[in-house]
Amino acid sequence: MEKHIVGPGWARKVSGGLAGMLVAGLVLGGMTPALANDDLAAVTTVEAVEYAPTDTEFTEVLGGDEGVISPEVSIGAEVPEALGAPVVPGDPGEDAAVGEDGVAATEVDDASGAEAAAVPAAPAAPAPSPAAPRAEKVVPKAGLPGAVTDAITSKCTVTLTMPKTIKVGQSFQSFHVNTNGIQCLDRLKIALRRTSDNVVLNTWSIYGEDSEYQSGRIPLTLPMPYHLEGVIKGNIAGKYAVEISDRHLDGNWADANNLDWQTDFPTVKVVNGVVDVRAAASAPIKLQREVGGVRITSTVQRYDAGSDVKVGMPNTRVALQKKNSVGKWVTKKTVTTNSKGKYSTLIKDSKKGTWRAVVSANLSAFAVTSGAKSVAKKSSGKAKTKISRSYDYMTLTGAVKINAGGGYYKAPAGVKVRVQKNKGGKWSTFKTVKTNSAGKVKYTASKSGSYRFVVKASSTYKSSTSSAKKFY
């Protein structure tokens, strides 16, 4: 048996009986029908070779029992349902013109002037019986990056349901891909490509033999942080298109269904073909009942996938909400974080209640709602004052705290504190100072003696007196 190749742009002069003329004629005609094995028995020799341009795709012609592999055609090309008896070059139903030397006369294309290849004449012989119809195999052309090329067979249709969003809140962030678990897949690859800059986040392989695939839920994880930092260039956020590649049928399944795993491919249907990937945010709140209302404090952060740490979210809008009597959340105040993602604000509210913070989404992170926290109603305030001394400079330092019903907190700035000295067993006020933003006061004595601090009573809290400190 000999193997002879006819490639694009070339044709070979073939002899050896009717079958030889048949193959050469069909190549010149621009098509090679699938012939029965018996029809190829006479194709055994190749004589002198002459080349002439043709438009025929690469076609492999095999002698003996190996059959004929038809030319590759792109998806959507029309495939003949049945092929009848072959036709030799020339007008239909007429004998081809033959020159004096026994070679078919040369024809000239009026448009291009190119001469067709000369083909040796063959002696007349009984026409062979028509070949049995045989379906041609269609090999899909490679698609553009990101495209999911339709497969040759719909017998194996793999459905992949991607998550609509991936919230990245930790290293090796996990997510899941759901499948129909059909038992015809050998393997395929999934890639996520960011649409804004064409960066590929990662590529994952899926195997049909894995139990996760067969169960219908495949766990996948993002790469380690240092890998992400080099790929995402500082920010993982973006819209990522799903790409499918390297898909293959299971060999046993293909054989059982009269398919070829090397040239036949599964159909892959992707649900949610674009995935929104952004960082997860956090915004835990701290509530404090104060004399003037409810103070809410928080730091709004997002996870940075490249550095594997949480970073503050500056200039971020935060809605502070309180649940009303019918269970509906009502926004009481909206604040903006500072350059470090922090905020602290006082809301005038004297009643007990449950509060939360709602952070809007931005280009880097998804929206987040804090956990709900409750605060007691305002009650009669209490103050307490601690005093300390420094002997080097005879300095007294006081720390003032107030309890308005929700526990003690540092006094706000501006609380009046009296400085008193004991003279002859009696305490007298000789100076008044005010607390700073840290709730502290300071006084430097000029003479020895016993000193103390007294918080003056107000309409919202009672007075408080510190212990005494003495300088010698």
The radius of gyration of the chain from alpha carbons, rounded to an integer in Å, stands at: 43
Same domain, 82 and 187: no
The one-letter amino acid code at 394 reads: M
What pLDDT is attached to residue 374?
92
**Residue range 280-337, pLDDT digits in tens:** 999 999 998 888 889 999 999 999 888 889 999 999 999 999 999 999 999 999 999 9
Regarding whether 268 and 165 lie in a shared domain, the answer is: yes
Does the structure show a pLDDT above 70 at 254?
Answer: yes
At residue 220, φ and ψ (nearest 5 deg) are: -130, 155
Look at residue 206 and tell me if it is in a domain.
Answer: yes
pLDDT band at 392 (very low <50, low <70, confident <90, very high): low
Instruction: Answer whether residue 110 shows pLDDT above 50.
Output: no
pLDDT band at residue 157 using 50, 70 and 90 as cut-offs: very high
Higher pLDDT, 17 or 464: 464
CB 194 within 8 A of CB 240: yes
pLDDT, residue 96, reads 40
Beta strands in 185-290 (DSSP E): 185-194, 200-207, 217-221, 238-249, 267-271, 274-279, 281-282, 285-290
| One domain, residues 251 and 286 | no
6, 51 in Cβ contact below 8 A? no
Is the whole model's pTM more than 0.85, yes or no?
A: no
Lowest mean pLDDT among 162-171, 190-199, 319-328, 384-393: 384-393
- Let me know if residue 94 belongs to a domain: yes
Q: Is 148 domain-assigned?
A: no
Residue 380: predicted pLDDT: 64
Could you please report the per-residue DSSP string of 432-467? EEE--TTSEEEEE-SS-EEEEEEEPP-SSB--EEPP
Q: Of all residues in the chain, what percent carry a pLDDT higher than 90?
A: 41
* Distance in Å from the first CA to the final CA of the chain: 120
- 451 forms beta bridges with 421, 469
The more confidently predicted of residues 409 and 176 is 176
Q: Looking at the structure, do residues 228 and 317 belong to the same domain, yes or no?
A: no
Asked if 182 contacts 156 with a C-beta cutoff of 8 angstroms, the reply is yes
pLDDT at 192: 95
Q: Are residues 177 and 256 in the same domain?
A: yes
In a domain, 144, yes or no: no
Q: Which CATH number goes with the domain that contains 164?
A: 2.60.40.2550
Pair type for strands 274-279 and 165-168: parallel
Do 134 and 197 belong together in one domain? no
- At 111, the pLDDT band (50, 70, 90 cuts) reads very low
Higher pLDDT, 54 or 268: 268
pLDDT band at 247 (very low <50, low <70, confident <90, very high): very high
Tell me if 87 is assigned to some domain.
Answer: yes
In this prediction, residue 121 carries a pLDDT of 46
Domain of residue 339, CATH code = 2.60.40.730
For residue 453, what are the domain limits? Answer: 382-471
Give the pLDDT of residue 358.
98
Res 237: pLDDT: 92
* In the predicted structure, residue 400 carries a pLDDT above the cut 50: yes
365/386 same-domain check:
no
Backbone angles phi, psi at 193, to 5 degrees: -115, 125
Per the model's pLDDT, the better-predicted residue between 393 and 331 turns out to be 331
Asked if residue 150 is part of any domain, the answer here is: no
Residues 64-90: tens digit of each pLDDT: 333 332 333 333 333 333 334 344 444
Instruction: Kindly report the number of other CB atoms within 10 A of residue 454's CB atom.
Output: 20
Residue 152 belongs to some domain of the structure: no
Last residue of one domain, picked from the residues 336, 354, 375: 375
Banded pLDDT at 253 (limits 50, 70, 90):
very high
Number of domains in the chain: 4
Task: Look at 273-287, 375-389, 395-409, 437-451 and tell me which has the smallest mean pLDDT.
Answer: 375-389
Does a structural domain hold residue 199? yes
Backbone φ and ψ of 24, nearest 5°: -65, -40
Closest alpha carbon to 381 in 286, 297, 466, 288: 288
Shared domain for 88 and 187, answered yes or no, is no
Range from 111-125, 378-392, 396-410, 434-448 that averages highest in pLDDT: 434-448
Structure tokens at 234: 């500082």
Same-domain pairing of 271 and 290: no
Last residue of some domain: 324, 349, 375?
375
- Which range, of 15-19, 72-76, 122-126, 264-268, averages the lowest pLDDT? 72-76
Residue pair 104/11 in contact by the 8 Å Cβ criterion: no
391 and 467 share one domain: yes
Q: What pLDDT shows up at residue 472?
A: 76
Average pLDDT in the chain: 74
Which of these, 75, 69, 64, 53, lies nearest to 7 by C-alpha position? Answer: 53
The pLDDT of residue 188 is: 97
Question: What pLDDT is recorded for position 361?
Answer: 93
Q: At residue 133, does pLDDT exceed 60?
A: no
- The domain boundary, picked from 279, 296, 313, lies at 279
- Cα–Cα–Cα angle for 157, 162, 164, rounded to 5 degrees: 145
Do 162 and 274 fall into the same domain?
A: yes
pLDDT of res. 387: 74
Is residue 168 located within the same domain as residue 77? Answer: no
What does the pLDDT read at residue 203?
94
Residue 152's pLDDT is 64
- The structure tokens 């018996």 sit at 38
**Is the pLDDT confidence value at 376 over 50?**
yes
Q: What is the pLDDT of residue 243?
A: 97
pLDDT higher than 80, residue 213:
yes
Where is mean pLDDT largest: 12-26, 63-77, 145-159? 145-159
Average pLDDT over residues 223-233: 73
User: DSSP class of residue 381?
Assistant: B
